[in-house]
Structure 1
Amino acid sequence: MGPRLKLCLNEPGNGQYYVSNEAMSGNVVLELDRPASIISLSVTIRGTSQTFTQSSGSDYLMHTTFGNRSCHTLVHQKQELFPPENVRGAITTSKKGFQVSKGLYSYGFEFLVPYWLKCFNDHGAKSAGFNRTLEDPRLPPSFNSDAATAGLVDFENSYYKMGSVTYYMKATLVLGKIGFRLTPGNTIIEAYQGIEYIPTPRCDGNQAHILQANIGPTQSFVSKKTLKVNDSLDAWIEVKARSLSRVYRLDRMFQRGCQRFDKVSLVLSQRPVQELNIKIRRLTLQLVEIMNYLSQGQVNAMVGTIPLVETQLDLKLNSSKIKTLGNGTIEWPLELCRIPELANYKFNEANITHRGNKMFSFASCNIKRAFKFCLSLGLEIDGSRFDAEVLTTMCDIELSSIEDHEELPSYKVSDVPPNYTND
């Protein structure tokens, strides 16, 4: 047997994925069952954002090979492990390399993933696609990391997997020539280890500051269609929210004062002249996922839904709650927080995995993942059934929780590992 190479990466602090400011460290283990000539041993961290798009009207099954491909290098850093630095600087390595005795060797390494994107230096900000308008774009999270091995499970899934953000470590052993050999080049042995990376939110780690920054001006979202209650009365559903521009995991969604779906009302075109018997029979909350893949000016979009809450209800509205606002609007609050199941609901408490990915928004130069909320209500008004649906604007979804969020300490200049070459 020849030399054996193994890349051992230390587990991230949370046991699942690396986060911003977290060092990625480990060892490259080299096992030699006999003496060998070694020119170099190195370890590289690399990240890419890749997409494949189809031109409008093209048939996926017939024209797969004629689409547009795009690959952006997010990070590429290399660290030389052997020969030692003092030896590399003192002599020039010959084609035969250094003679290394039989045995087991371990070489430690450590990388600190940068915030900046290498591809920005490659193509400039004007060609940054979805990142073009961002002042300080950061490394995107791992996404569709299994795309290369997932296969075409179904037609829809194949389109979903046409964009990926992957990070990995690669150890490379270059062997020298021993004696007379006819092979034109050196023997190269490589070992790979995939990496899951998700950046932490942009904040100072102060919970009170995050909560305050997450509250904005009141937004109003109205149901798509008007409900024709009778010949003289129309109605529609309205959601008033101040905290739906960014939602963290475990955030309350219906609890009184949460500023999300705690102020949902039935708005009437006029005060009813007679008593209305109105019941909420059904409530559904979904997350609408919008995927955009960009390559050579061509964008492919894909929209899907992720169910969050679905419950059957028998909640009768109290007519004494009808009120007339200063602008003349007649509002009938639904008071969804009265329903224990909704009042206790926390967003993404189960830490959902959708098509192999956790729930988070992000953008790279050629991939953008965005979300909206969709609230659907089934109403019964005087025995007649009505359905209403309210769609919010784009919302940033964070995988981390404000309750558990604790920012890792920022590295000072003196703490940053050496700047490795991209060779």
Structure 2
Amino acid sequence: MKQVASLPSSIMSSEKAIADIGFEYLLGKTNVFQGTAWHKRILKDEIFDSSKFKPSFLPSLRAELAKAMENEIKNLATPAKSSTLIPDLFGFVRRVVLRTMLNKLIGLYLNDDDETALLDDIMSFQDIVEDATATAAVMAGFVARPFVLRPVERRRKSIEKIIAGHIEKVWSNNPLKGQWGPWLRIFYESRTSSEEAATLVVGLMFAAHKNPAIGATQSFCYLLSEGSRSDIDQARNEAKHLMRSTSFSTSDIVEAHTLRQYVLETVRMTSHSIGALRKACKDVVLVDSSLREYTIRQGETVAISHITMHRNNSIWKDGEKFDAHREEWASVADTDDISVPIDNYKMTAFSHGTNKCPGERLAIALMEIVLALLLDKDVQINGGVPPISFERATLAQRTRKISAVLTINVSSS
């Protein structure tokens, strides 16, 4: 695995592998072949300062998440009632995170009606992409293209047209330039067309919102269903500090040990059954520890399974068991780096080698803050927590929808 992941794209290409399974149509060539480079550059220049977040980023991210959650709560609240029913907790958190990413990273700040419509469109499209990916994978290409991939491509282009229109309106209003998100500003300064920018926004929202939202919700479910009373109490204390720290920084995220341990263990338990894909651009000979040779022929695709690594008892003690207090996570107290604190060939969720996820630290911070928000709002799950399910092409979700209740009065929050 390490040999495959470490080879350059000219030999083992992630982009060509992703294009082959339909993403050239589903997310567009720009996202497949250029998107990661765009996002990596902007993250490096605008969000991070070495291994830490720039000082102003985390406080504003926390504020945007809190504001987005308040908006979603108000949309669900019933007048004169002191509790709010959340019929689909995963869907609720997805909307919170998507709204935040659109405002914080892009900076569209739409009116309520336009924003609600765009949230609905993007979430629906992302679910359709998952279904289309699974369907096209078991079809011949000449069947999948006209009947599965092309219809989703048309849907994507219609959403991109809407986003491009919103981008053009923002760009034409230069007095608001200070409110633009880093992606919108870099697109403008590099003279990227609104159409290409819209395509990249669709890809960014796919990468930056859905899995972190699911991961945060799963962390919350695992904490309440698997955590001890002392863990839950400690997590609530950490959440209270995280949401009220006046000098909120990377250190606050790293030092929230219980929240961090539950997030990391959740990601280990719920990562995709199939993760990294690489297509051989030429014949490749690999050699294992016993000096046996394996040849990957040009045109063949290698799939690296996260779950196979993460549930392997020879790699992880009791790999099938959820354990937030694993010795691997004990080191979270000894580092000021927000990244996963162990070798990324053992914990493969954020990929590795030449295609390691550039948004790893942002995703972990996002999951911790959302978990803290759910705890700070005293959200309670209705009934038990159902088993996890790997049926969707995301982090594992649950076998049925989970409803929850917000037990505090909305007006007092």
Query: Could you say which TM-score interval applies, normalised by the shorter chain?
Result: under 0.3
Higher strand share: 1
Report the TM-score when normalising by structure 2: 0.21
Q: Taking CA–CA contacts closer than 8 Å with sequence separation of 6 or more, which of the two structures ends up with the larger relative contact order?
A: 2
Higher helix share: 2
Which of these two proteins has the greater Rg computed from alpha carbons? 1
